[in-house]
Amino acid sequence: MSEITTIETGKVKLTFKLSAEDYTKALVDAYHRIGSRYAMPGFRNGKAPRKMIEKQYGDAAFWDKELDMAVEKACAEAVAEHKIFPALAPEYSIISYSETEGCEIEASIVLEPTCELGAYKGIEVPMQEYNVTEEMIDSELDKLRHEQARIVAVEDRPLEEGDTAVFDFAGFVDGEQFEGGTAEKYSMVIGSHQFIPGFEEQMIGMTIGEERDVNVTFPEDYHAENLKGKPAVFKVKLHELSREELPELNDEFASESSEFETLAELRESTRAKLDEQMKKDHDRAFESAAIQQVIDNAKVEMNEELVHAEAHAELHNLEHQLADIGLKFEDYANYMGTTVEDLHQRYHKMAEDQIRARSVIQALIDAEKIEPSDADYEAAVNSYADRSEGWTPEKVAEELAPDKRVKYGQAALYEAVIRFIKENAVITKKEKVEE
């Protein structure tokens, strides 16, 4: 028999017993395996009686993996008896023990979150309508013009906004050159705002070969702590100038840059592609908003230790990834313009949100007995194919075969949940807010 008491939200104390027979067997098995580790006067290694070793080295001399396995088995039986679902490995404490009475053990267990679903059918999701405008088409065609542009050298005039400049620069604060503020033959489009405010504007008017001091002040929110709000001088020398020469937007451009003969055909094709992409974006936004509303409507209770464990695991993975490229966690935080403490808080919030979402989705699956359809498997495989390279339609069809699609089961189930939520949600018109 075992007893269970609640310690706090999502955490219980489970008290159970390990029989005298199982306790003694664990000690004997451990003795046979590791008894030779203990030296006893007058006995060859491994020949000293177990009781003598325990008297010399303590009762816990043979509390090893055999006892751990016996405790875990007894705990699993107690867990099944009380129909609870541990989220983390239990923490054990042996309260009492003897070979005649067995062991009394306490296990501190963090449970899986509990979820009480709120409204998830008939929810209204406000969404803006989408439409392809002429300005959008013009913008796409302008991108295509830039892709087809010729780069021509500029030698007969000073630097203007929009030019690509090749230059050296060296930055100084309080008369001292600072780390990371120096480069040679750096290339940049003037007006792209890659540098801090005021830098590029002060380069306008320079001629090839000219040297100039550029005076700026680093923003108060600059990512490098030692430069925030500091005035600086950059010594700049201009080496080269060039500029894009854009092709004229006409039928000739259309025939040379696409499979279409006329600009009108190219515009119509661009409109169709934009419409398809905007529909996908709209569907994804609706999907995301609907799922989030279902999550927000639910009541989820979880233990803080579970959130901490998941956040710690993610941060540990990040630290390993950074170490592989020779970057310290503190340096990464500085590069991201934040602090180590803030990153920990962000990952804690992310872990909490992820656990909450998983709990709600699982509760919905259980409540509605959701199972993936063939279409859900197809969506899951296609989603994987979109993120991979070299997947042909034949490859997708092969992965959808019954003996292979099993590995997409979780993804297909998620697709089924999304489909269920979308089918039971209602899009309402959202008025566009004028900026």
Tens digit of each residue's pLDDT (9 = 90 or more) over 373-385: 999 999 999 988 8
Q: List, in sequence order, every beta strand (DSSP E) within 9-158.
A: 11-18, 91-98, 102-110, 114-116, 124-127, 150-153
d(CA 192, CA 205) in angstroms, rounded, equals: 16
| pLDDT tops 60 at residue 435 | no
The closest alpha carbon to 247, from 223, 266, 234, belongs to: 266
| pLDDT tops 50 at residue 341 | yes
- Residue with token string 């803080």: 304
* pLDDT level of residue 432 (50, 70, 90 thresholds): low
Strand-pair partners of 4: 14
Confidence (pLDDT) at 434: 46
Model pTM score: 0.74
Confidence (pLDDT) at 6: 92
DSSP string, 349-389: HHHHHHHHHHHHHHHHHHHHT----HHHHHHHHHHHHHTSS
| pLDDT tops 90 at residue 433 | no
Domains of the chain, start order: 3-112 (3.30.70.1050), 150-245 (3.10.50.40), 263-429 (1.10.3120)
Confidence (pLDDT) at 389: 84
Structure-block tokens of residue 122: 């008939």
| pLDDT tops 90 at residue 336 | no
What percentage of the chain exceeds 70 in pLDDT? 99
- 328-365 burial, b for 16+ CB within 10 Å, e for fewer? eeeebbbeeeeeeeebeeebbeebbeebbbebbbebbb
Confidence (pLDDT) at 253: 93
